[in-house]
Structure 1
Amino acid sequence: MARLISIFVGLGFVVVLAYSFIVGAYTAATEPHEPTAEHEFHLHTRDAHLQSAGWTGTFDVQQVQRGYQVYKEVCSACHSLRHVAFRNLAELGYSEAEVKAEAAAWQVPGIDPNTGEANMRPALPTDAFPSPYPNAVAAAAANNNAIPPDLSLIAKARHDGGNYVYSLLTGYADANSYEHDGKVLKEEFPDFSTPTGLHFNPYFPNLNLAMAPPLTTDGQVTYADGTEASVDQMSKDVAAFLVWTAEPTLQKRHQTGFPVVLFLIFATVLGFLAYRNVWRNVKH
């Protein structure tokens, strides 16, 4: 008897759960959603027209070098590149001496060989780019409780990564006067506000971003090749650099991929013709 009662109780739970699921799904599918500022004013990324984009993309080495300079002089104040070693810069055309000089300009944690005490030492080519903060707690304390993400793989971690970085860096605006497609944010959503310590950016999913605009004025970086360092140009260059850090073998992969695809197509055609030749006189 007890077993029969438990079976009926279990069936009752199943029925209630099924009913709740069906009603919830029907309600979600039929009831109109309340518009939100995040839905109405969040923008898709803009095209940075990077040379690395597309199936045949390659790296503009000079642009990637400029992007490294922007990272070094601006972004490295908050963001690390822990998956990139200084020796990887050789892939961008830097000589061995230049790589050693670049590495030596950075300080990384080390050990004093005489005392065994922790200290800071000049980096070696085998070292990875260091974090500007000793730990996550210090990073959060210095950035309004938001830990700056490592940028090594950011271009792969975000959809349309290179364009996302470019759009985000050039997308900061004033929420009080922001307008898009003829709609004014404050008129559509009077209660929308950017909390203290955050910054309005329509390319960020919830519109409010903890990172302050890092590139604010033209000429913030002086390029050695004479390129005009506008905010737009610096944003494109550092986006190109971060695409490279996320996928340094992209160019080789593209160069290898097309011959492989052509070979597979040729082999498929050859196999089909061989099949037709071998079985042409066999009746089914």
Structure 2
Amino acid sequence: MSNVGRFAPSPSGLLHFGSLITALASYLQAKSNNGEWLVRIEDIDPPREVVGAAQKILFTLEQFGLHWDRDVLYQSNRLTIYQDIINTLLKNKLAYYCNCTRQRIHGLINHTYDNHCRHLQLSTTTQQPMAVRIKQTSSIDSFIDGIRGKQTIMSNDASEDFIIYRKDGLIAYNLAVVIDDHYQGVTEIVRGADLLSVTFKQLSLYQLFNFTVPHYYHLPLALNSDRRKLSKQNHAQPISTNNVRQLTVDALRFLGQSIPDNWQDASQEQLLQWAIDHWQIKDIPKNDKLISSL
């Protein structure tokens, strides 16, 4: 099987330095293995989306020379597919409706759902909005991460019947990402360590659907001066395209990669090719890192 990597931003804001680190690492991991690199826009949460952000994200990637190998996939074009899968799971009693409130779940031990609605046989005939939860029969409590080694879940989350369709009518991230990574033939998922905890749930869906499991690589997080991860929610500044090579070098250094001595004299294309040729995923640090200037 050929290597296929991907970068899957949500259009809830513009790319920041943490996003660049993830985009660059996923690109280099794919290209260093003569693989494809895909871009997917995860636009299934309209209330959080910023108008025009998707186009600006793609423009920024192009300015950095990070060119994708297939058409960009927009999750908003696949809502019918997700819904059909949910309907099939409900029909086969592999999922069920849940009307539990957020307040009830927050009152539970560790805020972990107790599968309260699993046997209530709720239906949508009531006017009350309901979520859909997977009936967890394929729980995963450990996996091998390509950067961090063996990861083991430290709570009861592995056995939780988690949400795949939200009360507000939106498709849950965990379902959509697994369906689309399988559909696109993704073999390697390079992403931030903030997503480590949901990997266990996603792996259980791979097992439920009998999908081939990709390799996971969870990157260290870039932290702001408050030691919070750079993110759109934490108001991280968008990256500028005025100094592409310097930011690329900064991202490579964050990732523990070597830098050519004469990088200032190289074009962005030459710099990326050098980075592909010298990519060492084993040199990526495990610990998060403070980025005081961002």
TM-score category by the smaller chain?
under 0.3
Q: Structure 1 length normalisation: TM-score?
A: 0.26
The structure whose residues are more often strand, as a share, is 2
Q: Structure 2 length normalisation: TM-score?
A: 0.25
Q: Which has the larger radius of gyration?
A: 1
